[in-house]
Structure 1
């Protein structure tokens, strides 16, 4: 609550339009801004008949005039355009440009919607629609909030049920949930403070909820698992405080290592040079830090208070080392034929990863939003009447004011080429800044930004028309922006940064594993297994969402591609979360090795003893991630699905099949270059030496 209070007191800092600029499109927008010609928040009002037939010209002009007069009186409005009739004369539209930066339109659009509502009420026989980026974003934000509320209502009770089945105690089941919720609350507060360094792009809360539930429950389960084992081993002879100290010396350090891995992996997103990924990284880091701190402070104190209850409940039987019967059966099968098992499992994972070859990335534009939103339905009617409004290419030119005539002649020549090209809509407009240094040519395209026609129009502009016209002017700087360029440049930007981020991610995973376990071999094993898991998950995501066969099953309309942010986010978060399981599992094996247990038996006992908590944590994670699949935003669906599937693979294939098979084949070599320790120290000493 202190973190939340501090965050609320200081307040957050939202990302600005400038923060989103990438690639040539971003450079062109910066040029346009220098001349005051940057994108402004724009709303469009459409007046049409409710039924068949054309709109009476006089009636349409009268209603349009009413709209213009009402909007012109608003402080939120900068200018109102003249009425524009559709080609079939069945509708007329009025464009309303709002004041302020492009991203702030959402905050002030209610005043415009209210006026449109009044005009609609006065003309019930007509349809008066309003749509634009501000009203669409407002509706999307509202829908996202409702979706997240439903997600919480689903995830929390299901998580509680899973924990009740694990612990058979209401009190002990509530503890992980409380830690997760408190971590999320603290994460929200910390994210507001962090936003003054890394501006919030509006997605931080989503990832805080997503990661907070996962790591909060994970870390608590690690502690509770060890706490129960120590109670069982002691037979009630040790005090609650002593048992908690033993748990803190082992699982406590595992939590720190796991938290460091998640935070360090998430931090690689800062290398993307993108405000959205910066916001995602910040959210993941702050909620992970909050979960780790809570696990090291609040959780031990709480366990000490609950110690007597835990002792009575958990000292009724011996501590098990091989886990559930199903786990033992799987491990026995792996132990009998590790090479064969490894080959089959790797082949299966590669088969799942195969669709990755055909992966297509696109920016998730407004055309993918739910048609349940009133602004989207209105937008569809507007673009049906005026198809040229679907997309726009903007050629921005900066040159000395003395050369404005040459710039205009060149842009008019470019416009002439565009008007005869079937890729374009044929409509153009030239705007010039007050100082005559910046000129913008707007070119309409009757296709949504992600569609092939729009993308081809951009390529032709950049590769042929611009170089052949304004590109030949000495001393002039030209660049292309617009919503088509934005949708193309953003995925390209991510593709360019992906190798750097992936390299940093692999390095972070390797270094943390090596430092934690003093083994170069285990560092390499961790990297390979994480890559295999991520590739398989991304391959399945491609098969499910890039093609249409699962649309009805999961309730979405395929874009024929994957959201450009999803693969990078999946890789980073999966690498971080998989370290939770890896640290907990390997630390159990390492404990046995240091006690002098033969390598083969150490692998089987270590994985067997950790299987229960890993499985329980995985079920909770899958529940949380899967709860994002019903969301309306396609990108959140893809993220939720891919993470849920990745966790399933990691817990049930990687940790129960691939890891033990590799460890059995490697034997003592798995711990190279560290030396094996003999069992000549007491249990407390061994606990302090182990990672977890």
Structure 2
């Protein structure tokens, strides 16, 4: 692989302008395709085959309900306690309904004071109008949202009534390039500039990564015109693609500069860098792709789509690092070095590396290896404690200062906490209406049930609906238990099939499916990556140390996320708008993404140790030598990833916010505790045994990540003259 990649790097440098133009053409083509073929995205999650999802489909068949249009629930409350059903209040409500019905994009607006279908609480102080749009969820335009907000503001100001807007019509598609994300990119650029000592090289590294992530995100945008993709897919792929794109470029550029300092010409330096660091990039990228594509084993279509889309973006990032980066390096040549080093050849900086902070760090860690190992394990274990109380849900908690949150609170005060998460029971079969009526009494006697609405039969009396209002809110454990109690009570009905659905039931089904799939996913993905690492390092214990360290990273990352987002620790300081259970997608996505990134660091760090050991260094000296060579780049890469993820954390999308926090904290734990302390301490403790491979496994193929084949063959070179120093 090293020889093949070195030739690819030499080819890219030799035909640098052609390679650059091809990538620019792909980027422009992606932009044109996204502008003309893009469709809408979905912000709802469900799993085909689950009871709640099946019930929704059957309700649509039997009742003609369940359209895809976005809805807004406009809640009105009388602040002074006067009834909304009479006098000026009633006139104001009627005027609001009329205005809502005439807004752009609105199909209908229900009248809460209609005697045939009232939507007023018992005290007649709170009412709501359901506004239905012709656009799907996430498809309501900004202009239509602004018109809705303006209409509500007008009524609020003229009538003195309290009016707020709930529902999904105000949902926005997560932005891939908000202020926070741009700030993260700026921080990444500063880290690169400090690492390289030249802004030109830093800008080149960042620009090539942006090209890769741009192509990936544009490709996903094009796919929305043909597939029903989640609204978080582009943001997730953009966040991950940008981080790894910068890091993969960093690894190759750093090795290229190292070869230049050793006296190599530009062509040889490019081919050697791509053959060595490029091999590690391919292996690291493969682990990330395995982790993301492995999400398919969970059996949830939207999660599979997110994983494949993000994996495709990673593949683009790897291809950019292997072709576009060497092409640009061929253009810049020795200008990638700081100005004072461009005319100096044969400087390796080994002496400086031996005296630096990181050299002292690894010496201390390996000398006090038992203490270092214990401290790392205990620290990460302590942070992981909250993980064991983690709860998940699909019901997103709205920011406390938003109109959606205020609308939910008005409804909870007027109708009860459970009104925001009603449960729907579908009865199917002969005598469905009678069965529903007979079941309403026992259902009302269940714990946490506030009310049961009269049964609603369909036209031919083959099905009936029963609405159950819980006493607790939609994200409470009591409501989740009520779903299980309902299903248990309705399991033995004779001649009639009963299904429990509603947003809370869908959330319970998705969470249970994800929880059941997690062990299978971990075993499959970790097992495949373990095999890959065994092939890379020709060792059993080194991959095992890396994987066990990753498990501590996951525990600490999710533990910190639970403490902040669920328990509310430091939530005010970090600007968390609301606390509650984590979004159901967070744990499995964080595990998949962090596993790939953690293995990146393991490969880049330990491959240099393995290289030194293969060249005859003792086990201890190999650890220290490899650490001195790779740690500066790994530290820079971790800081860049942290900056990118932290930038996405500043956004408003709840799903992306929790995932970004978990990834940012996980990067810190993995890079600076696991890879910088636990791994060198554990390898020092194992000594020569760390590189042991059983005799019965020595038939395994050898993956040449360190580029040993380049020592026996002549690295490919460009045939053109090097770029002038100036």
Which bin holds the TM-score, normalised by the shorter protein? Answer: 0.7 to 0.9
1:131 to 148, 157, 165: 165
Structure 1 residues 17-166: aligned runs within 5 Å: 20-21=47-48, 23-40=50-67, 41-49=70-78, 51=80, 53-55=82-84, 57-68=86-97, 76-77=106-107, 80-81=110-111, 82=114, 83-97=118-132, 103=137, 106=140, 110=144, 114=148, 117=151, 120-121=154-155, 124-127=158-161, 129=163, 131-138=165-172, 141=173, 144-145=174-175, 149-166=178-195
2:52, 2:590 → 1: CA distance?
26
1:508, 1:648 → 2: CA distance?
25
| Distance change in 2, residues 1:56/1:80 (3 Å) | closer
Is 451-460 or 36-45 further displaced after alignment?
36-45
1:219 to 248, 252, 273: 248
Is 554-563 or 214-223 further displaced after alignment?
554-563
Contact 2:133–2:140 (8 Å) recurs in 1: no
1:118, 1:218 → 2: CA distance?
48
Correspondence for 2:455: 430
1:300 corresponds to 2:326: yes
Cα distance, 1:298 vs structure 2: 0.9
Contact 1:397–1:439 (8 Å) recurs in 2: yes
Contact 2:370–2:685 (8 Å) recurs in 1: yes
Contact 1:43–1:131 (8 Å) recurs in 2: yes
1:552 corresponds to 2:572: yes
Correspondence for 2:369: 338
| Distance change in 2, residues 1:328/1:501 (3 Å) | same
Correspondence for 1:362: 392
Correspondence for 1:392: 422
Contact 1:214–1:620 (8 Å) recurs in 2: yes
Correspondence for 2:465: 440
| Distance change in 2, residues 1:462/1:230 (3 Å) | same
1:522, 1:163 → 2: CA distance?
30
Describe the SS at the equivalent of 2:450. coil
Describe the SS at the equivalent of 1:244. helix
Cα distance, 1:112 vs structure 2: 11
Correspondence for 1:460: 485
| Distance change in 2, residues 1:171/1:96 (3 Å) | closer
1:660, 1:115 → 2: CA distance?
57
Correspondence for 2:235: 206
Structure 1 residues 230-629: aligned runs within 5 Å: 230-234=259-263, 238-310=264-336, 313-314=340-341, 316=344, 317-320=347-350, 322=353, 325-357=356-388, 359-366=389-396, 368-387=397-416, 389-399=419-429, 403=430, 406-420=431-445, 423-464=448-489, 466-467=490-491, 471-474=492-495, 476-556=496-576, 559-629=579-649
Please list the CA deviations of residues 279-312 of structure 1 after superposition, one character each: whole Å capped at 9, or x if unmatched. Answer: 4313421221111111111100111111132365
1:10, 1:649 → 2: CA distance?
41
Contact 2:78–2:126 (8 Å) recurs in 1: yes
Cα distance, 1:427 vs structure 2: 4.2
Correspondence for 2:8: none
| Distance change in 2, residues 1:108/1:436 (3 Å) | farther
2:300, 2:686 → 1: CA distance?
41
1:225, 1:615 → 2: CA distance?
13
Q: Which has the higher contact order (CA 8 A, sep 6+)?
A: 2
Please list the CA deviations of residues 72-123 of structure 1 after superposition, one character each: whole Å capped at 9, or x if unmatched. Answer: 678842573524333222244334455686x377469938954981894597
Is 443-452 or 556-565 further displaced after alignment?
556-565
Correspondence for 2:30: 3
1:179, 1:364 → 2: CA distance?
36
| Distance change in 2, residues 1:632/1:233 (3 Å) | same
1:511, 1:313 → 2: CA distance?
45
Correspondence for 1:167: 196
TM-score by length of 2: 0.83
2:333, 2:629 → 1: CA distance?
22
| Distance change in 2, residues 1:58/1:278 (3 Å) | same
Describe the SS at the equivalent of 1:487. helix
Q: How large is the Cα RMSD of the aligned pairs?
A: 3.3
1:531, 1:687 → 2: CA distance?
41
1:198, 1:332 → 2: CA distance?
53
Describe the SS at the equivalent of 1:544. helix
Contact 1:250–1:688 (8 Å) recurs in 2: no
1:419, 1:353 → 2: CA distance?
41
Correspondence for 1:685: 712
Correspondence for 2:17: none
Cα distance, 1:227 vs structure 2: 1.0
| Distance change in 2, residues 1:532/1:111 (3 Å) | closer
Structure 2 unaligned residues grouped into runs of 5+: 1-26, 717-726
Describe the SS at the equivalent of 1:395. strand
Is 210-219 or 526-535 further displaced after alignment?
526-535
1:97, 1:455 → 2: CA distance?
28
1:280, 1:602 → 2: CA distance?
40
1:245, 1:11 → 2: CA distance?
39
| Distance change in 2, residues 1:351/1:621 (3 Å) | same
2:54, 2:122 → 1: CA distance?
35
| Distance change in 2, residues 1:229/1:108 (3 Å) | closer
1:14, 1:219 → 2: CA distance?
30
Describe the SS at the equivalent of 1:425. strand
Please list the CA deviations of residues 53-73 of structure 1 after superposition, one character each: whole Å capped at 9, or x if unmatched. Answer: 444614344344445555667
Please list the CA deviations of residues 162-218 of structure 1 after superposition, one character each: whole Å capped at 9, or x if unmatched. Answer: 111111211011122112211221111222355578631110122123212210111
Contact 2:72–2:170 (8 Å) recurs in 1: no
Give the paired residue count.
666
Structure 1 unaligned residues grouped into runs of 5+: none
Correspondence for 2:15: none
1:520, 1:491 → 2: CA distance?
35
Contact 1:548–1:557 (8 Å) recurs in 2: no
Cα distance, 1:481 vs structure 2: 0.5
TM-score by length of 1: 0.87
| Distance change in 2, residues 1:648/1:187 (3 Å) | same
